[in-house]
Structure 1
Amino acid sequence: MASKNKYSFSTAALYPRSAAESLRLIAEAGFSHAELMPQCFADARENFAKAAEKSGIHVASIHYPLAMFSMLYNSSEGMVQEARRFGNELVRLCSALGTEVLVIHPHEMQKDPILKQRLEEPIRDNILLLAEACEAVGLILAIENSPKGVGRSPEGLLSYIASLGNNKVIRPAIDTTEACEAGIDPAEFIIKTQPAHLHLSDHAGNEKHIPAGEGENDWHAIKRALEGYQGYYTLEPLYRYYIDEPVKKLAKAFEFLAGLFEGNA
């Protein structure tokens, strides 16, 4: 879907509303793009595309459902098969919607050789098969940084991605709040990783995933770090900030992006 900008908003921030209602609200606020966070299996099936298309918004990215993460990162033989079927279904939904990015998190790395073989290898294979399915439809599989584990630093995230092999569809995704939680300036994280996808929110003290522009982040430094960035500017604040007055707050979020990135998106 053509658009004059790449401003996007995550349905995760509108929980517990339904995915279909969330997409409608995001579209009404002026966004042309959204990131879908499925909250149930029905939201992740290919036939959800019909409901999504009614909103008139382009689902530019899909975040692997947090509610189903334990499927992807599970070594049980039966669940491995379920995870692979679910992953293929999710990729079919992406293809039906014209989605460009599928976001996941790094898995837990094991140091003990036995645990690595028994626990980590099946999970690694799940991710590699998901990457193959993404590649088949021209989809980026974006690995998001995390404040804990291998993805907490730029070097760690890039090393993790490299460990998955020379697959060009596997790219970094940077969450500004997750960078702050790891004690790293978001602009520095962006410069060092050159992400293919962004999750934007603010941070202040112990408060995290605050609506962008309402915390302590240096957004002008982040903007400078994003020079040459070609992806979507996806706002992903915590849902508790949008429980009430979502229309008003979504409009404010759009205005923040437009004001910051005018002529840069």
Structure 2
Amino acid sequence: MKIGLSTAILWDYEELDVPKAISHAVDNLGYEAVEIHCEEPFFEGWGSKKAEKTKKNIKDVLSIIDAEVSLHAPYHDMNIAAINNGVSEEVVRQYEECIETARYLDSEIVVVHPGFVSSRKYRREMSFQKMIKNLKKITKSARDAGVKICLENLSSKAKAMCVSISEIKKTLRRVDMDNLKVTLDIAHANTTKEGPVTYAKKLKEHIAHIHVSDNTGDDNHLPIGLGNIDFEATLEKIQPYPGLLMVEGWIPTNEDPYLIYDRRELERIRENLKSVGE
């Protein structure tokens, strides 16, 4: 397990500089990997020709540091289950751009949010089928690029797709492609009745990526220790796990001490779990 950091946590609206965030995460905070959010304002110019300069700057900084990288597909203002055909086509276009960016940056992981039912007037199955159709498109593109699509379990909300373990597994079966995997968001799992330990146990064979943050059952992403999640018990259920642990928990001001603590706590857990699953 390598321990990484979402660069969105380090966002400084005065600088708007992803390469600096990457360098800070690795060189100053000691992380072994980074996750890059492919959307404005986290990725300058995303969705337009202006993004090419940002991509090059990111590749340049990744070439001089020792770190792995994953990408997070855009999800603010986006819905892969959108009924509106124009919106749906734009979502697929931007996700395929994210896949191509992953290939360019030598990343094997693109995290995707499953989407949601846009209105109570829509039958859930109609939105679900649209999500499946679009997931098949992007997962095929990802397969051709040597990339895994890692579907993230969402927090417990009525309109959200792939909150439950059963709907996640149903989605994997319907798409039926080997490179469609699961991003286990531990904090999101903690908003459900089953909880993160059960999610880890029942989804183990599908998990290829993990998001780490804490909460007390609400939809917050806090530093480790500020919630009630047992991370060691959760991570023990998926051993041996060769993938990335991406820290998403943050405090809006003076975040560095919390991020250093998160890394050290995950290093401690990693050491404790070394012999599990061998």
Q: State the TM-score, normalizing by the size of structure 2.
A: 0.79
Where 2:82 maps in the other structure, the secondary structure is coil
Which letter maps to 1:62? L
| Aligned CA distance change for structure 1 residues 226 and 95 (closer, same or farther; 3 Å) | same
**Which position in structure 1 is the counterpart of 2:221?**
209
**Which position in structure 2 is the counterpart of 1:143?**
151
C-alpha displacement at 1:122, in angstroms? 4.5
Which letter maps to 2:45? A
Contiguous gaps of at least 5 residues in structure 2: none
**Which position in structure 2 is the counterpart of 1:38?**
38
Q: Does 2:237 align with 1:228?
A: no
**Which position in structure 1 is the counterpart of 2:95?**
87
Which letter maps to 2:192? A
Taking the TM superposition and a 5 Å limit, the aligned residue runs for 1:1-265 are 6-15=2-11, 17=13, 18=16, 19-27=18-26, 28-40=28-40, 42-43=45-46, 45=51, 47-53=53-59, 54=61, 56=65, 58=67, 60-70=69-79, 72-108=80-116, 121-146=129-154, 147-148=156-157, 149-164=160-175, 166-194=176-204, 195-204=207-216, 206=218, 208-238=220-250, 241=251, 243-262=252-271
| Aligned CA distance change for structure 1 residues 185 and 31 (closer, same or farther; 3 Å) | same
Of stretches 222-231 and 171-180 in structure 1, the one that deviates more from structure 2 is 222-231
Where 1:196 maps in the other structure, the secondary structure is strand
Which letter maps to 1:170? L
Where 2:210 maps in the other structure, the secondary structure is strand
C-alpha deviations, 1:177-200, integer Å up to 9, x for none? 111111222111101001111111
Identical residues among aligned pairs (%): 19
| Aligned CA distance change for structure 1 residues 96 and 47 (closer, same or farther; 3 Å) | farther
How far, CA to CA, are the matches of 1:205 and 1:116 in structure 2? Answer: 25
How far, CA to CA, are the matches of 2:263 and 2:3 in structure 1? Answer: 7
Which letter maps to 1:193? L
Two-structure CA RMSD over aligned residues (Å)? 2.8
Of stretches 217-226 and 95-104 in structure 1, the one that deviates more from structure 2 is 217-226
The structure where helix makes up a greater share of residues is 1
| 8 Å Cα contact 1:37/1:64 also seen in 2 | yes
How far, CA to CA, are the matches of 2:201 and 2:128 in structure 1? Answer: 30
Matched length: 254
